[in-house]
């Protein structure tokens, strides 16, 4: 199998607070994990690529100090949205890539973030 | 970031009909993946393609890796109501080197009527 979980599934927070989202690969080891953001009726946009034990690589236009990524183990990556604002409200999805499979990514169920 | 052009943008079909959608790019890809996303869920991998010209089936789904390596199509035969959702193509560009990140298509929203 290739199951990825995310927690929480939904979160509502006040503007200015920080929110942490966890991404876990449940039945495989993920050397690389990816974080995406998806706005309503739009496609997935890659935010950053995270390799276990090293710093994340951020896509152009994504603020690394605002979206903190930690990939401390082969089964867990976290995304922290710091000082969240209403424009950060979105659907955040992570994916994991099996160590032995270079091209396929397996996605989590997503986290709906609403910033008031 | 770059996105792949996917068409059609949306489709309304009757149950039992066949569906065809495609994905095109100006860049060359060495991997094509097709995903289905239900509302409020993450994408689920349907088919993976690794070679130009490759034709792969998964049940009622068939996908092909275009010979030019710049396109791919997905066919769904005899559609059923649970086929409703958004279908995304995704590819890994040749010029990303060792990076394994994917570029996603704009999506095709499929509605099936009884």
Cα–Cα–Cα angle for A44, A48, A65, nearest 5°? Answer: 120
Which pairs from A41-45 meet CB under 8 Å and 24+ separation?
A: A42/B107, A43/B3, A43/B88, A43/B104, A43/B105, A43/B106, A43/B107, A44/A93, A44/B43, A44/B88, A44/B104, A45/B1, A45/B104
pLDDT in tens, A5-49: 999 999 999 999 999 999 999 998 888 899 999 999 899 999 999
Select from B1, B40, B41 the Cβ nearest to the Cβ of A45. B1
Residue B93 confidence class, pLDDT cut points 50, 70, 90: confident
Give pLDDT, residue B105.
Answer: 94
Give pLDDT, residue B112.
Answer: 87
Question: Which of A18-32, A79-93, B98-112 is least confident?
Answer: B98-112
Residue B95 has pLDDT above 80, yes or no: no
DSSP B23-46: EE-SS-EEEEEEEEE-TTS--EEE
Mean pLDDT for the stretch of residues A94-98: 90
CA distance B78 to chain A (A): 26
CA R_g for chain B: 14
CA distance B28 to chain A (A): 15
Residue B97 confidence class, pLDDT cut points 50, 70, 90: low
In chain B, what residues touch A102 (CB-CB under 8 Å)?
100
Give pLDDT, residue A43.
Answer: 93
């Amino acid at each position: 199998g290739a199951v990825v979980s995310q927690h929480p599934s939904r979160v509502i927070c006040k503007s200015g607070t920080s929110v942490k989202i966890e991404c876990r690969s449940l039945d495989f080891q993920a050397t690389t994990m990816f974080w995406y953001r998806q706005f309503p009726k739009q496609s997935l946009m890659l935010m950053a690529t995270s390799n276990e034990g090293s710093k994340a690589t951020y896509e152009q236009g994504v603020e690394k100090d605002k979206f903190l990524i930690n990939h401390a183990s082969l089964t867990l990556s976290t995304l922290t949205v710091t000082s969240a604002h209403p424009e950060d409200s979105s659907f955040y999805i992570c994916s994991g890539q099996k160590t032995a499979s270079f091209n396929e990514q397996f996605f989590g169920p997503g986290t709906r973030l609403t910033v008031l | 970031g770059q996105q792949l052009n996917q068409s059609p943008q949306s489709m309304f079909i009757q149950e039992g009909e066949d569906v065809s959608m495609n994905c095109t790019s100006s860049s060359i890809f060495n991997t094509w993946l097709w995903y289905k996303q239900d509302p409020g869920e993450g994408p689920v991998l349907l088919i993976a393609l690794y070679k130009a010209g490759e034709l792969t089936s998964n049940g009622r789904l068939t996908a092909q890796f275009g010979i030019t390596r710049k396109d791919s199509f997905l066919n769904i035969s005899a559609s059923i109501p649970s086929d409703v959702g958004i279908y995304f193509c995704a590819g890994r560009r040749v010029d990303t080197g060792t990076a394994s990140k994917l570029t996603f298509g704009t999506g095709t929203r499929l509605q099936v009527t009884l």
